[in-house]
Structure 1
Amino acid sequence: MSFGIKNLKFLFNQVDISSIVLFRIAFGFIMFIEVLRYFDHNWISRYWIDVNTNFPFWPFLSLRPLGGDGMYFLFILLGILSIFIMIGFLYRISITLFFMSFTYMFLLEQARYLNHFYLIVLLSFVLIFIPAHKSFSLDTLWQKHIRSKYISLWCLWLIRFMIGVPFFFGGIAKINPDWLAGQPLQMWLSDDTDFPLIGRFFTEKWMILIMSYSGLLVDILLVPMLLFKRTRIWGFLIGVLFHLMNSKLFTIGIFPWFMIASTTIFFPPNWPRTVLNKILRKKWLQNDTIVKPKSAVVVKSEKHTIIALSIWVLLMIFIPLRHFLIPGNVSWTEEGHKYAWHMKLRSKKGKGVFIVKAKDNSFTDTLVLSKQLPRWQYRVAVTKPSIIWQIANLIRRDYLKQGKEVAVYADIKARLNGRPYQQFIDPEVDISTEPFPIWKADWIVPLSSALPTHAPQ
């Protein structure tokens, strides 16, 4: 073990900080734009105020939105913190509070799960430990002792790793029968025939397959292309084109622009300073400067850093792959789907009701979920076993408050990628007595309907 750690001493070489500074500025700026979008579209009220209930993530099931105007104040705080991160003002405090506030907001509603929000949670967490404020920040004006043009190499590679994870595991997730057969891309692209140049071919099977396999290859190969000097510029250009197309085809908010800005982290760490040197005709730092530690011995603090990094990397690898340990189609069962970078991989719809039966057989009620929830929440709720479980337990508690002992059944059907509707939840199981579906829930009916050979309607 000590031999392995000793060979990782190079991670503490000091390299130009300028690319990480640019990443910090871009992160703060794009987060500020996202906050403005939430105010502009009135999403704060829609998602957390004008709803009867939210469905928080496990194990934070007791989380609730802030009362009154609290959620508006939370987003104001996020906007202020985004600016502080961008300009490097009270950076450590700002990024820590941003991580805590953004993560709280993220955990409040499963129906609003977004892969790029999960990525922001992860990045804001790792940025707490990266001293990205050591240059070009307000903090250096009154803390001159922290000022530096250098940063440890592990900081750079940690950010590169975090940006590479969604690409690589997004590609791994595409290696599934539906995607390789052109679904659900065929369903979506058939509505985008006005797309510039190639849109008129979106009804052709050959074009759908080209798009499907191209997306898979870009996800898997983009990071390797960015890592090597000979292919880096081509990888970057392909990545830009890929994200611009996604922005045009899908409603995915800031994600394409954030990833375009983030992939610049794969360029040499001194590239922003090199560009400024040429523009301003100055020489702030030799372009090839790398400062190695004076001692080859790994000190205690460096050992702790290497161990922490190793644990983090293993977690980031295991979590996206955990669904391979769970039987069933992950896009159907949802078990292991979240946090696995399964981005734009399926079209899933559900419908059904909850049946409430008194334990003393005195009554039976039928609850139509579409009348209880707003549309944005309903169409996700009926496809997610975790939310179905939460709803069943909320129903049971409501009846208990009235002094009534009940069993709650979910008669819900669903369809995946154009397949015909089939039973999704076992209607004979009292969901309110079942444990939360963390790993494998027997009340989820296995997928049995076949993918249609023709274009789904």
Structure 2
Amino acid sequence: MDKFLFKHIDNTGLVLWRVVFGALIAIEGFGAIATGWVKRTLIEPDFTFNFIGFEFLQPLPGNWMYIYFALMGVFGLCVMLGYKYKWSMFFYALMWSCVYLMQKTSYNNHYYLMMLLCWLMVFLPANKWFSLDAKLNTKIKSPSMPRWVLLVIILQIWIVYTYASVAKWYPDWLDGTVAELFMRGKKDYWLIGPILQIDWIQACITYVGILFDLLIVPLLLWKRTRLVAFCISVFFHLFNSVVFQIGIFPYMSIAFALFFFSSETLQRRFLPKKQLYTAGEIKVPNYKPALIGVFSVYFVIQILLPLRHWTFKDDVLWTEEGHRLSWRMMLRSKSGNATYYVVDKATDSRRRYPIDSLLSRKQRRAVRTKPDMIWQLCQRIKEAENKNGRDVAVYVDARVKINGGGSNQLIDPKVDLASEPWKHFEHHPWILPQPESYKKKKIKKK
């Protein structure tokens, strides 16, 4: 165990990853301002839909979120340069975690992955070489790292890709329905739009997605297939970047290859002046029990979280229970309509509640199809009515379409959602049972 985990190996891959990762998270911070994401998601809405239980996390008032993200960008640059690395990485991880938990209208799996990687990087010795820290304090300078550092990153990546593949093993993905629906929205893309409508292209997207996610890590681990796998990875992620426009995630994924190529190759191509470490010393730290304990618990959680949706009643595509934090990436197309009603308990009068004025356009789409956000909006409506001296019940008439299927009732319209408790680990009975035909496709190709 000591030889496997604590034998020292060359740290060129980790050092280069720190530079690339720091640059990417800096781009995420500054880019969120430049593209208007901060304005649309955190400033313009009257409120955000937090992860339930984190209601105390709210965007800063006025334009302070611009300053917040600019500061994150500065911390990202410090990580890239290796300046005050531990503190810079810690504060970026903390600030990004707050952003992630304070809003889920713009939920993306890569936001979750970035949060995990940020916290992992806080504990990794990524500033031991090619950093301002090592230049200013030569005592910390080292060309090596313990092997567990490499194993932690590779295992995290492997979990992500494996679950992303397994989640696609369901009929609507396998028969090409999901690919067709997604590509239909890309038909106006310059040059590639018409190509993406071709049947065999959509079939390739369907099955390449499954095979890539399942096999890319093993192929990168095996020396004979590493270069080919890397070339495939570059094409795959650049394709996703162009077609789906998902920010820094494709480039971060390409950079994962730094943990798979040999240190000799990386050192020769990127850091020719760096000392190549080959001594292979075994240095067992005093904190070995704590290290093994913490990472064992962490990876048990990472393996179990994506499986939790099997503990809930009905299909996760229908209920959304267990959907987040489980690497279920771009698996379904979902649309719907929802009407909110309030009933004054004193007078028994019923009226339709105008939600459009309360929400941004993206929030309006979310509260039509996502049960947890529907429930949260009902709580806010009740709070707003209580401030005006009215004790009300809140009912929702919501119908959804999944993967081009028919419209079906999602929420029990007879249940006062404002009085229902939220249960993190139980199925909510006010989510109606899934109809047998809820995924029946009505797609007709032109």
Using structure 1 for the length normalisation, give the TM-score. 0.91
Which residue does the alignment assign to 1:356?
A: 342
Which residue does the alignment assign to 1:272?
A: 266
1:309 aligns with 2:295: yes
Give the C-alpha shift of residue 173 in structure 1: 0.7
Relative distance call for 1:269 and 1:305 in structure 2 (3 A) is farther
Q: Residues 23-67 of structure 1: CA distance to partner in whole angstroms, max 9, x if unpaired?
A: 111111011122222222222222112111111112212221112
The answer (yes or no) to whether the contact 2:393–2:418 under 8 Å persists in 1 is yes
Which residue does the alignment assign to 2:146?
A: 152
> 1:340 aligned to 314, 326, 329, which one?
326
Give the C-alpha shift of residue 299 in structure 1: 6.0
1:284 aligns with 2:275: yes
My pick for the range that moved more, 48-57 or 198-207, is: 198-207
AA in 2 matched with 1:419: G
Which residue does the alignment assign to 1:113?
A: 107
Give the C-alpha shift of residue 274 in structure 1: 2.5
The answer (yes or no) to whether the contact 1:385–1:437 under 8 Å persists in 2 is no
The answer (yes or no) to whether the contact 1:13–1:290 under 8 Å persists in 2 is no
Relative distance call for 1:32 and 1:137 in structure 2 (3 A) is same
Which residue does the alignment assign to 2:162?
A: 168
1:12 aligns with 2:6: yes
Which residue does the alignment assign to 1:416?
A: 402
Give the C-alpha shift of residue 70 in structure 1: 1.9
Give the C-alpha shift of residue 199 in structure 1: 6.1
Relative distance call for 1:14 and 1:55 in structure 2 (3 A) is same
> 1:329 aligned to 299, 303, 315, which one?
315
Q: Residues 72-92 of structure 1: CA distance to partner in whole angstroms, max 9, x if unpaired?
A: 111111011001100111111
1:123 aligns with 2:117: yes
Which residue does the alignment assign to 1:229?
A: 223
Give the C-alpha shift of residue 276 in structure 1: 4.1
The separation in 1 between residues aligned to 2:63 and 2:285, in whole angstroms, is 49
1:398 aligns with 2:384: yes
Could you say what secondary structure the match of 2:369 adopts? coil
Which residue does the alignment assign to 1:3?
A: none
Relative distance call for 1:194 and 1:231 in structure 2 (3 A) is farther
**What are the ranges of 5 or more consecutive residues in structure 2 without an aligned counterpart?**
none
AA in 1 matched with 2:431: I
Could you say what secondary structure the match of 2:401 adopts? strand
The separation in 2 between residues aligned to 1:195 and 1:49, in whole angstroms, is 30
Q: How many residues align?
A: 443
1:81 aligns with 2:75: yes
The separation in 1 between residues aligned to 2:168 and 2:59, in whole angstroms, is 35
AA in 1 matched with 2:430: W
1:217 aligns with 2:204: no
The answer (yes or no) to whether the contact 1:418–1:456 under 8 Å persists in 2 is no
The answer (yes or no) to whether the contact 2:338–2:367 under 8 Å persists in 1 is no
The separation in 1 between residues aligned to 2:146 and 2:58, in whole angstroms, is 39
AA in 1 matched with 2:282: P
Relative distance call for 1:283 and 1:247 in structure 2 (3 A) is closer
AA in 1 matched with 2:104: Q
> 1:443 aligned to 423, 430, 440, which one?
430
The separation in 1 between residues aligned to 2:298 and 2:260, in whole angstroms, is 20
Relative distance call for 1:9 and 1:322 in structure 2 (3 A) is farther
Give the C-alpha shift of residue 454 in structure 1: 3.6
The answer (yes or no) to whether the contact 1:355–1:410 under 8 Å persists in 2 is yes
Give the C-alpha shift of residue 110 in structure 1: 1.2
The separation in 2 between residues aligned to 1:368 and 1:196, in whole angstroms, is 38
Give the C-alpha shift of residue 238 in structure 1: 1.2
Give the C-alpha shift of residue 368 in structure 1: 3.5
1:46-65 paired onto structure 2 within 5 Å: 46-65=40-59
My pick for the range that moved more, 193-202 or 26-35, is: 193-202
Using structure 2 for the length normalisation, give the TM-score. 0.94
- Percent identity over the alignment is 35
> 1:427 aligned to 397, 409, 413, which one?
413
CA RMSD in angstroms comes to 2.1
Give the C-alpha shift of residue 350 in structure 1: 2.0
The separation in 1 between residues aligned to 2:348 and 2:409, in whole angstroms, is 27
The separation in 2 between residues aligned to 1:338 and 1:174, in whole angstroms, is 15
1:383 aligns with 2:375: no
Could you say what secondary structure the match of 2:177 adopts? coil
Relative distance call for 1:283 and 1:300 in structure 2 (3 A) is closer
The separation in 2 between residues aligned to 1:231 and 1:56, in whole angstroms, is 43
1:183 aligns with 2:177: yes
Relative distance call for 1:17 and 1:66 in structure 2 (3 A) is same
The separation in 1 between residues aligned to 2:46 and 2:279, in whole angstroms, is 57
AA in 1 matched with 2:275: W
AA in 1 matched with 2:108: L
The separation in 2 between residues aligned to 1:122 and 1:171, in whole angstroms, is 20
Which residue does the alignment assign to 2:94?
A: 100
The separation in 2 between residues aligned to 1:395 and 1:160, in whole angstroms, is 45
Q: Residues 267-316 of structure 1: CA distance to partner in whole angstroms, max 9, x if unpaired?
A: 12443213246xx5x57225xx151316xxx6652122112111111111
Give the C-alpha shift of residue 437 in structure 1: 4.3
The separation in 1 between residues aligned to 2:146 and 2:102, in whole angstroms, is 35
Which residue does the alignment assign to 1:243?
A: 237
Relative distance call for 1:329 and 1:283 in structure 2 (3 A) is closer
